A = this chain, B = another copy of it.
Amino acid sequence: MDKFFSPSAVAVIGASPREGSLGGQIITNLRYGYPGKIYPVNPNHKEIQTLPAYASVAEIPGPVDLAIVIVPAPAVCDALEACGAKGIRRVIIESAGFAETGPEGRALQERCLAVARKQGIRIWGPNCMGLVDVPRKFFFTFMHPNIYKDGLISGRISMVVQSGMLSAGFLADLMSERAVGIAKACSIGNKIDIDECDVLEYLIQDEETDAIALYLESIVRGRRFLMLASRCAKPIVLLKGGKSSAGAKAALSHTSSLAGNARLQDSLLQLAGVTIARDFQQMMEVARALAMIGKTPPRCRTAILTFSGGAGILSCDLLEAQGLQVADLSPSTKEELAKVFPEWLPASNPVDMFPAFALNGAVATYDGAFRAVVKDPKVDVLFLHFFVGLYPNYDRLKLFKELADREGKVLILWVIGRRDALRDFKREAQEASIPAHGELFRAVECLAYASRYAPSRKSPALIGKRPAGGLSDRAATLLAREPGRVWDECASKKLLKALGIAVVKEKIVGSQAEALAAAKRLGFPVVLKGLVEGGVHKTEAGLVMLNLASPALLKQSFAVLKKRLRGAGRILIQRQIPSDYELIAGVVRDAQFGPCVMFGLGGIFAELQKDVVFAPAPLSTATAKALIGRISGHKLLSGFRGQAPLDLRSMADILTALGRLAASRPDIDAIDINPLAVYRGKPVAVDATVILREL
């Protein structure tokens, strides 16, 4: 990959002398900062922008590390052949007209890839804007030179985007409006060869990159991406496009429909330590905050230094809403503050400095208040508010940062004011490596991300080893017997039982007499269910009768159920087991991420709230336990309102058993256990569906 980012000579195939043309802009951009040899290739010109031009790649005198191709799509294959002959092994294809245009373009793309493979060439693109290295001023791209007309802001955040146009517009916006400093910007387009995993791997070891922000519409090698992310010590922030595309297998299994596209991916990525963003600029502000702050101390006790009582109050509201703590200042800090404050002003958090401005001037007040608070052992984070453009600007951000670093404290800024002063202030903050945000909510949100950020090296090994043993004989036999594609709950629970999962006591009954006898053995109250082949939504179909507490009720219900079944299907009788709450567990197979295990809140709330999480299968017991703690409603599991806490070991065993099965049997398409009833902490499978697939 290094040759893409640091070539010693670059050929531009399709260079043009025409101003405003893409082939012309690439040359302009290269000349702006790239110090190596630039070879324009164009058969119709001898010179382009004062550089000697070559009729073909073959005529270039010296060695070439990288070619940038901008000729029309149909000419790209030939260009690749020529590159191969010349010994060029890295090519960025910026031309469009490939898979994005339909089947013909897709075929053309395949042919290009075949040529590249044959010639040993690595391809970046096609249909991309190439790459930009801001600190070194390398612009290997056709983007409009106006992008850097307002100046560039170097930083230590690298970005990877799938969309071309976005990376250009976005760079201009980020640098001119938000003063977010960038390291490398990589537009990877159709990614027929080099994909997000390759670039991610490069950026993870890149010394100029402190955080990685990605906008992706697909993750080609899902497992590889998870592996890279889970071992990465730098913050990774991902914005995933295309969440709303309808999930493939909606109706058949709850697990599949709950997975959707987005929920499963987000959950897996978060488990691997990836931070999920929801918008472009937000992604960059979050990445910058994580790069500059890293992880906050766990309690995130925040002191607010403000010029506005209202902004202070609102900061408290926003901090508490995000589960962060408003710091309780130490008595010694309050004494220090009292020295710079007017007598009547209470020295408490938020620290409202405005009334003291008249006494000491704004700068001295900030200074005094900052020095008092930064030393407070009960403060982890200083959230400073600034208001610029009315009075002279504060110019001690570097000093503040030094003092904070010395005390091991985190700094984050909110700033409002007049345009030009804002821009200057934000640049100063960028240089001092302090995140500065224009909205209180965004600043607090970034702090919350930092408080949750866990450098994932420390998280349990994400993907378990392939299970050593194999399935039990009993499970293998059941699978070999294979009662169809969609198993009814009775068959499904037999398989679960063979995996060591506790299931409800039940029996298939053929007559009222059999049902009565079974009910006596199981104990009242009981449940009757009508099982129909391929039918999974029994409740909606009126085929579940709960709370049958007496023989009379049982007999009557049996008759009704029999009638509803109209001779098809079987009748199952179960003990009605008590439950404190219901969970859901299962298996789902994803095209990008492979077999995954699901866990979440069950029953009707599974569908109302969709509080479910996923892990790649197989999974270790440690990952299973971590997964259980990741649902939003985890409070429910730890002994809520006098209930017994969930038996974590039993629950983890269920998840690891499901993971082993999913990983070892590619014919398992999905498994639902819903509900998994929990009573006195013990989970028991009440209903389940196993779905197989053709291999």
Residues of chain A whose beta carbon lies under 8 Å from any beta carbon of chain B: 96-97, 101-102, 104-105, 144, 146-147, 149-150, 161-163, 165-166, 168-170, 172-173, 176-177, 215, 217, 239, 241-244, 262, 278-282, 307-311, 313-314, 316-321, 326, 344-345, 354-355, 387, 389-391, 416-419, 422-423, 438-441, 523-525, 537, 539-542, 546-547, 549, 578, 581, 604-605, 607-609, 633, 635-636, 640-642
B320 touches A215 (CB 8 A): no
A316 to B636, CA, bound (A): 34
B165 touches A344 (CB 8 A): no
Cβ contact of A168, chosen from B97, B161, B390, cutoff 8 A: B390
A419 to B423, CA, bound (A): 10
Q: Find the B residue at minimum CB distance from A345.
A: B101
A546 to B242, CA, bound (A): 47
B161 touches A310 (CB 8 A): yes
Cβ contact of A176, chosen from B102, B345, B391, B418, cutoff 8 A: B418
- Chain B CB within 10 Å — which of A97, A105, A423, A642 has the most? A642
Contact A314:B282 (CB < 8 A) given known A96-B355, A150-B419, A636-B608: no
A416 to B284, CA, bound (A): 14
Contact A604:B578 (CB < 8 A) given known A387-B169, A440-B279: no
A166 to B352, CA, bound (A): 12
B317 touches A241 (CB 8 A): yes
Collect the chain B residues with CB atoms within 8 Å of residue A280's CB: 311, 314, 439-440
Contact A310:B162 (CB < 8 A) given known A144-B391, A439-B280: yes
How many of these chains are in the complex? Answer: 2
B166 touches A641 (CB 8 A): no
A317 to B344, CA, bound (A): 52
B642 touches A439 (CB 8 A): no
Collect the chain B residues with CB atoms within 8 Å of residue A635's CB: 608
- A683 to nearest B CB, angstroms? 17
B215 touches A310 (CB 8 A): yes
A163 to B161, CA, bound (A): 42
A163 touches B309 (CB 8 A): yes
A524 to B262, CA, bound (A): 46
- A263 to nearest B CB, angstroms? 12
- Chain B CB within 10 Å — which of A177, A546, A607 has the most? A177
Cβ contact of A418, chosen from B149, B162, B607, cutoff 8 A: B149
- A312 to nearest B CB, angstroms? 9
Contact A310:B641 (CB < 8 A) given known A242-B317, A280-B439, A416-B173: no
B438 touches A243 (CB 8 A): no
Collect the chain B residues with CB atoms within 8 Å of residue A166's CB: 308, 310-311
- The contact sample of 15 A-B pairs, CB cut-off 8 A, is A97-B344, A165-B387, A166-B310, A170-B416, A172-B389, A177-B416, A177-B419, A241-B317, A243-B321, A244-B321, A279-B439, A280-B311, A280-B440, A540-B641, A609-B633
A169 touches B581 (CB 8 A): no
A105 touches B344 (CB 8 A): yes
B308 touches A165 (CB 8 A): yes
A172 touches B547 (CB 8 A): no
Cβ contact of A165, chosen from B177, B307, B317, B578, cutoff 8 A: B307
Collect the chain B residues with CB atoms within 8 Å of residue A319's CB: 244
A264 to B115, CA, bound (A): 67
A641 touches B607 (CB 8 A): yes
Contact A314:B177 (CB < 8 A) given known A354-B165, A387-B165: no
- A522 to nearest B CB, angstroms? 12
Collect the chain B residues with CB atoms within 8 Å of residue A241's CB: 310, 313-314, 317
Collect the chain B residues with CB atoms within 8 Å of residue A97's CB: 344
Contact A605:B607 (CB < 8 A) given known A242-B317, A279-B440: no
Q: Find the B residue at minimum CB distance from A524.
A: B549
What 10 pairs across the A-B complex have the smallest Cβ distances?
A: A163-B310, A173-B416, A101-B344, A540-B642, A279-B441, A244-B320, A241-B313, A165-B308, A169-B387, A166-B310
Cβ contact of A525, chosen from B101, B540, B549, cutoff 8 A: B549
Given contacts A173-B418, A279-B314, A525-B525, list 15 more A-B pairs with CB under 8 A. Answer: A96-B355, A97-B344, A102-B344, A146-B389, A161-B310, A172-B416, A242-B313, A243-B317, A244-B326, A279-B318, A280-B314, A282-B441, A537-B641, A540-B641, A608-B636
Contact A604:B390 (CB < 8 A) given known A316-B244, A417-B172, A440-B280: no
A578 touches B313 (CB 8 A): no
B440 touches A641 (CB 8 A): no
A605 to B641, CA, bound (A): 11
Collect the chain B residues with CB atoms within 8 Å of residue A416's CB: 169-170, 172-173, 177
- A189 to nearest B CB, angstroms? 11
A144 to B317, CA, bound (A): 29
B169 touches A308 (CB 8 A): yes
Cβ contact of A150, chosen from B170, B282, B391, B418, cutoff 8 A: B418
- A330 to nearest B CB, angstroms? 21
Contact A578:B546 (CB < 8 A) given known A146-B418, A172-B418: yes
Collect the chain B residues with CB atoms within 8 Å of residue A440's CB: 279-280
Contact A539:B642 (CB < 8 A) given known A146-B390, A308-B163, A422-B177: yes
Collect the chain B residues with CB atoms within 8 Å of residue A633's CB: 608-609
A147 to B524, CA, bound (A): 77
Contact A417:B604 (CB < 8 A) given known A243-B317, A282-B441, A310-B215: no
A525 to B549, CA, bound (A): 8
Collect the chain B residues with CB atoms within 8 Å of residue A642's CB: 539-542
Collect the chain B residues with CB atoms within 8 Å of residue A165's CB: 307-311, 354, 387
Q: Find the B residue at minimum CB distance from A240.
A: B317
Collect the chain B residues with CB atoms within 8 Å of residue A170's CB: 416
Collect the chain B residues with CB atoms within 8 Å of residue A418's CB: 146, 149-150, 172-173, 176
Collect the chain B residues with CB atoms within 8 Å of residue A581's CB: 604
- A437 to nearest B CB, angstroms? 11
Q: Find the B residue at minimum CB distance from A442.
A: B279
Collect the chain B residues with CB atoms within 8 Å of residue A104's CB: 344
A422 to B173, CA, bound (A): 9
Collect the chain B residues with CB atoms within 8 Å of residue A244's CB: 316-317, 319-321, 326
Collect the chain B residues with CB atoms within 8 Å of residue A423's CB: 419
A217 to B316, CA, bound (A): 13
Collect the chain B residues with CB atoms within 8 Å of residue A278's CB: 318, 441
- A368 to nearest B CB, angstroms? 19
